[in-house]
């Protein structure tokens, strides 16, 4: 039997590549779906039979009641947001507590982490990151500085004391920043209201199956079960390799699966890297192929590019092969997945940045977001007029779409295994024979 039982699906750009949708589509092939990093900064959208669902902390396999879903140790959890998510799913007739387990080691996002997030962003002024303000940076900071609280602490008799102590510490910092938290709202609530809800939500979270997920997952591996690790954010937001400091606070690359779930590197098998057929970014920081004029607006409108977590308009631009090849390298991608191909229907010309040009006019293919000068050199591909509405298998693809896919495969030396042509679960073309 194969030793490699953990496959990975992650974003190769700046997030929102369509991870949620594709995880849902691939779930039937796996026994367990596990989130390994990030937290409620993620917004993973699933469209099933005309209903739209947005998940933030819960893995995107939750709509398959026979599949186990794992929130791993590398994830950070806001009990208030998790409880709301559970309630939403229950309203839809699901029983998420039946097929969800939560790591004891996952760290908690406290209400004050959210205030701190806002205080740090306010202090940065124009240089702000554009954080989702879910408390991600401050919660991961407490984790690495060894002051954080974990899910397991919720069961400690001294939890209230530990909570009050950390909260008081946070308020000392908030005061230092002269941040008027009384004027700030957290998800539309005052701090006190949010805190009251948060404390109540803890009781719900404690009713979940809270376990040592690293032992659980490795036991399942020994039993021959197949696991799909679901990434959040994207490679270019990785804390080490993203456009620092305009990044998130976790390792979003394949390596994050090992530390975020307790899985040995040799267990990692297939790595599905997902990209949009163009590129978007929400929040600040470099974006070499960003389009500022009408073309960018056209992509935004055609692709409905507004954030699933914050509703913010996403910045739009063309696919960037330098960035893509860098992401493939970091993640060891075995299969490319391209989403939102339908959005490009009707574009007479589709551009793809094949390289950057440096000051001396030389074409550069190496990519490093710490370089300052990005002058993309574009290839122009002929687009296709047809809508993809009636395309249900790869043979029906317009010729120019096939050419576009071939072009990307050639430039990345990686096969395109899945093409997504619409938001609904059913609008997915499986190209790889071994995924059919």
Residues annotated as catalytic are 16, 44
Rank residues 284 and 386 by Cβ distance to Mg ion and give the closer one. 284
The answer to the question of residue 317 lying near ligand IMO (CB under 6 A) is no
Q: How far is the CB of 119 from ligand GDP (least distance, A)?
A: 26
Cβ neighbour number for residue 359 with a 10 Å cutoff: 7
Out of ligand IMO, Mg ion, ligand GDP, none, what residue 330 binds, judged by CB under 5 to 8 A for its kind, is none
The answer to the question of residue 17 lying near ligand GDP (CB under 6 A) is yes
Cα angle 360, 366, 367; round to 5: 105
The answer to the question of residue 19 lying near ligand GDP (CB under 6 A) is yes
Cα angle 374, 378, 384; round to 5: 140
Rank residues 136 and 323 by Cβ distance to ligand IMO and give the closer one. 136
The answer to the question of residue 282 lying near ligand IMO (CB under 6 A) is yes
Burial of 364 per CB tally in 10 Å (0-12, 13-18, 19+) = middle
The answer to the question of residue 238 lying near Mg ion (CB under 5 A) is no
The 8-class DSSP code of residue 94 comes to -
Q: How far apart are CA 26 and CA 228, in angstroms?
A: 9
Q: 356 is written with which tokens?
A: 């950057």
Among positions 120-179, residues that touch ligand IMO (CB under 6 A) are: 129-132, 134, 136-137
Q: What is the DSSP string of 39-73?
A: -TT--EEEEETTEEEEESSS-TTTTSTTSEEEE-T
Out of ligand IMO, Mg ion, ligand GDP, none, what residue 420 binds, judged by CB under 5 to 8 A for its kind, is ligand GDP
Query: Using omega within 30 degrees of 0 as the cis cutoff, is the peptide bond preceding 245 cis?
Result: yes
The answer to the question of residue 252 lying near ligand IMO (CB under 6 A) is no
Of 143, 149, 184, 144, residue with least CA distance to 163: 149
Among positions 261-280, residues that touch ligand IMO (CB under 6 A) are: none
Q: 147 is written with which tokens?
A: 């002051």
**Per CB under 6 A, which region of 8-16, 130-138, 370-378, 404-412 contacts ligand GDP?**
8-16
Of 56, 141, 60, 65, residue with least CA distance to 107: 141
Q: How far is the CB of 388 from ligand GDP (least distance, A)?
A: 9
The answer to the question of residue 422 lying near ligand IMO (CB under 6 A) is no
Among 37, 41, 331, 334, binds ligand IMO (CB under 6 A): 41
The count of chain residues that interact with ligand IMO, using the rule CB under 6 A, is 23
Question: One symbol per residue from 392 to 421: x for binding ligand GDP (CB under 6 A), - otherwise; what is it?
Answer: ----------------------------xx
Cα angle 293, 297, 303; round to 5: 150
Q: How far is the CB of 77 from Mg ion (least distance, A)?
A: 18
**CB 338 within 8 Å of CB 414:** no
Rank residues 228 and 258 by Cβ distance to Mg ion and give the closer one. 228
Of 52, 53, 56, 54, residue with least CA distance to 42: 56
Place of tokens 């390792």: 251
Out of Mg ion, ligand GDP, ligand IMO, none, what residue 129 binds, judged by CB under 5 to 8 A for its kind, is ligand IMO
Q: Among the residues of 289-335, which ranges form H helices?
A: 294-302, 321-331
The answer to the question of residue 73 lying near ligand IMO (CB under 6 A) is no
The answer to the question of residue 72 lying near ligand IMO (CB under 6 A) is no
The answer to the question of residue 422 lying near ligand GDP (CB under 6 A) is yes
Q: How far is the CB of 119 from ligand IMO (least distance, A)?
A: 13
Question: One symbol per residue from 303 to 322: x for binding ligand GDP (CB under 6 A), - otherwise; what is it?
Answer: -----x--------------
Q: How far is the CB of 310 from ligand GDP (least distance, A)?
A: 10
Q: Which residues, including other chains, have CB under 8 Å from residue 261's CB and lie 6 or more apart?
A: 6, 34, 36, 70, 72, 73, 74, 213, 214, 217, 229
Cβ neighbour number for residue 436 with a 10 Å cutoff: 6
Q: Among the residues of 188-337, which ranges form H helices?
A: 191-205, 213-222, 255-261, 294-302, 321-331
Which residues of this chain interact with ligand GDP, rule CB under 6 A?
Answer: 11, 15-21, 43-45, 47, 308, 339-340, 342-343, 420-423
Binding site for Mg ion (CB under 5 A): 16, 43, 308
Contact positions vs ligand IMO (CB under 6 A): 11, 14-16, 41-44, 129-132, 134, 136-137, 232-234, 237, 248, 282-283, 308
């Amino acid at each position: 039997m194969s030793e490699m039982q953990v496959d990975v699906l992650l974003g190769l750009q700046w997030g929102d590549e369509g991870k949620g949708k594709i995880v849902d589509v691939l779930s039937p092939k796996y026994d367990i779906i596990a989130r390994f990093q990030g937290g409620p900064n993620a917004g993973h959208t699933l469209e099933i039979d005309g209903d739209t669902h947005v998940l933030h902390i819960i893995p995107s396999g939750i709509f398959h009641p026979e599949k186990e879903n794992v929130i791993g140790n590398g994830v950070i959890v806001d009990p208030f947001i998790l409880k709301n998510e559970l309630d939403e799913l229950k309203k839809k007739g699901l029983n998420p507590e039946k097929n969800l387990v939560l790591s004891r080691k996952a760290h908690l996002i406290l209400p004050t982490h959210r205030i701190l997030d806002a205080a740090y962003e306010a202090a940065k002024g124009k240089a702000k990151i554009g954080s989702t303000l879910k408390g991600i940076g401050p919660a991961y900071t407490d984790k690495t500085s060894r002051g954080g609280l974990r899910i397991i602490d919720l069961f400690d008799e001294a939890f209230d004391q530990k909570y009050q102590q950390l909260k008081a510490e946070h308020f000392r910092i908030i005061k230092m920043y002269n941040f008027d938290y009384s004027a700030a709202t957290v998800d539309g609530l005052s701090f006190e209201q949010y805190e009251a809800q948060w404390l109540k939500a803890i009781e719900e979270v404690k009713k979940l199956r809270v376990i040592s997920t690293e032992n659980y997952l490795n036991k399942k591996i020994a039993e021959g079960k197949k696991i799909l690790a679901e990434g959040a954010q994207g490679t270019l937001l990785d804390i080490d390799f993203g456009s620092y400091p305009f990044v998130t606070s976790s390792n979003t690359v394949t390596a994050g699966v090992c530390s975020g779930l307790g899985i040995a590197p040799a267990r990692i098998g297939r790595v599905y890297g997902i990209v949009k057929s163009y590129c978007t970014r929400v929040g600040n920081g470099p974006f070499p192929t960003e389009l500022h004029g009408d073309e960018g607006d056209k992509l935004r409108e055609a692709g409905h590019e507004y954030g699933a977590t914050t509703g913010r308009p996403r910045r739009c631009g063309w696919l960037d092969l330098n960035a893509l090849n860098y992401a493939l390298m970091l993640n060891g991608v075995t299969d490319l997945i391209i989403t939102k191909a339908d959005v490009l229907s009707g574009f007479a010309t589709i551009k793809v940045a094949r390289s950057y040009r440096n000051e001396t006019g030389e074409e550069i293919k190496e990519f490093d977001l710490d370089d300052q000068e990005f002058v993309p050199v574009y290839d122009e591909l002929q687009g296709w007029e047809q809508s993809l509405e009636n395309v249900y298998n790869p043979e029906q693809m317009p010729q120019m779409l096939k050419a576009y896919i071939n072009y990307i495969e050639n430039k990345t030396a990686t096969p395109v295994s899945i093409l997504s042509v619409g938001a609904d679960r059913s609008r997915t073309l499986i190209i790889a024979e071994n995924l059919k």
